[in-house]
Amino acid sequence: MALDLVVRATRAVVGGDIRPCAVGIRDGRIEVVEEYAAELDASERVDLDDDVVLMPGLVDTHVHVNEPGRTDWEGFAHATRAASRGGVTTIVDMPLNCIPPTVDVAALDAKREAAVDACHVDVGFWGGAVPDNRHELPALWRAGVLGFKAFLADSGVEEFPALSEADLLAAAYTVASFGGLLLVHAEDPAWLTDVPAGADYAAFAASRPESAEFAAVRAVVDVSRRTGCRMHVVHIAAGSALRLVRLARDAGIPVTAETCPHYLALAADELSGPTTTYKCCPPIRDAANRDLLWSGLAERTIGMVVSDHSPCPADLKALDTGNLAEAWGGISSLQLGLPVVWTAARERGHDLADVVRWMAAGPADRAALHRKGRLEVGADADLCVLAPDESFVVDPAGLEHRHPITPYAGRTLTGVVRETWLAGRRIDLDDEPRGRLLGPTRGQTR
């Protein structure tokens, strides 16, 4: 039976290597991966230009879409448009900043209803673990969430309260009982202090020191050891805490970690312009710390890079006053994550196979989306076509985020996404959205 499509590339990231290949697609899935010159019977053939690299679509498992309830902050339509422009073909939405938060099945149903027919890429969902909702977690898992997000420090929104360490232990026992995954924003509130009015970025960073992350990651490792729960530290920013993750891994304790483009590309001692655009929690740290994060990626202590896309309206970023004490903490980078990481990675001697491991296969595996993030037989035919040597200057006017606020404005980045394909078809933002909602069967689509 003829294939629907064959895509040929003189350079493609396949199985950890970069090589020529021909990818045969049928019914939205990869049917064959052959040598470049292989004769394959197909209804359509696409030969990519020699200056591009064919990659699997990226998977971003840390996205705050904020819909329903705070759709004026972002929303599924805007977030998935931005994702597609950035080569991201699957996102997993975080359970907070939306109203209601995704802490029970009714809230998950409301979120899915908001997302139906609005998404240009595939979308999965995390549930939330908050005080007093332990009894909801098994039902949320059965309903198709991919895991559960918890905070140890104030989340920034009152409807998603933090867990105490005792609450974390109880939640971990529950999640472990059905083999789920527990994600933790790891900052210990005992080490955090208020940000004084008029503080500069250094003072803001000092209010959320590395010791807060270290103490919280130590608690996560201890809880995982005691319960056997699979646990994941989100957006790790403190290089000193990587030692704890490494020791846990070596001891067979199921704890993993991610970091974000802004921690890899930026440094607190190099910032310029309005500093509220750089506000995020944990904060961006200094250049020496950034080097430690890159070392953590190289030795695979950090297994993935995801955006922590956390948008808000311009007034909440306090751009006019520069008040870091009041500004919302979040950096929107769904559309820019790939070039931000690639620009920095190539300068440090990494190749696109590394980037695919960090930004496609790694996140897909952590979320058990095993048909995502790879060019291999049986995978979804989600593709990113990247011109890795082409540079551009970031213009906020060209961003698809609802509020095009970015700390990368005016920066020159390398790596232009020429095309993004979902299930074997190019994404055209003028067409009706074709993104699917992932779940309830693990790694499948409904």
DSSP letters spanning 218-262: HHHHHHHHHH--EEEE-S---GGGHHHHHHHHHTT--EEEEE-HH
Domain with CATH 2.30.40.10 in the chain: 3-50
Exposure on the CB side of residue 316, measured as CA atoms within 13 A? 14
The pLDDT value recorded for residue 272 is 76
**CATH architecture of the domain formed by 3-50:** Roll (2.30)
The pLDDT value recorded for residue 199 is 87
* pLDDT tens-digit readout, 331-360: 999 999 999 999 999 999 999 999 999 999
Domain covering 56-368+383-413 in this structure, CATH number: 3.20.20.140
Could you give the CA distance from residue 93 to residue 163 in angstroms, rounded to a whole number? 20
The mean per-residue pLDDT over the stretch 419-445 comes to: 84
Could you give the CA distance from residue 234 to residue 223 in angstroms, rounded to a whole number? 16
The pLDDT value recorded for residue 442 is 43
* pLDDT tens-digit readout, 13-49: 999 999 999 999 999 999 999 999 999 999 999 999 9
The answer to pTM > 0.75 is: yes
* pLDDT tens-digit readout, 261-300: 999 999 999 987 779 999 999 999 999 999 999 999 999 9
The mean per-residue pLDDT over the stretch 395-399 comes to: 97
Domain with CATH 3.20.20.140 in the chain: 56-368+383-413
